[in-house]
Amino acid sequence: MLVRLLMILGILALIAWGVLWFLKRRLLKWLSHLQPPTTGTSTNIVSEKLIECAYCHTFFPKNRAIIREEHFYCCEEHASLSQ
**Quick one: which H or E segment has residue 68?**
strand 66-68
Of 51, 52, 56, 68, the one binding Zn ion by CB under 5 A:
56
Site string for Zn ion, 15-54 (x = CB under 5 A): --------------------------------------x-
Does the protein bind Zn ion through residue 79 (CB under 5 A)? no
Of 55, 65, 72, 79, the one binding Zn ion by CB under 5 A:
55
Residues 67, 72, 75, 78: what is their CA dihedral angle, to the nearest 10 degrees? -100
Does the protein bind Zn ion through residue 74 (CB under 5 A)? yes
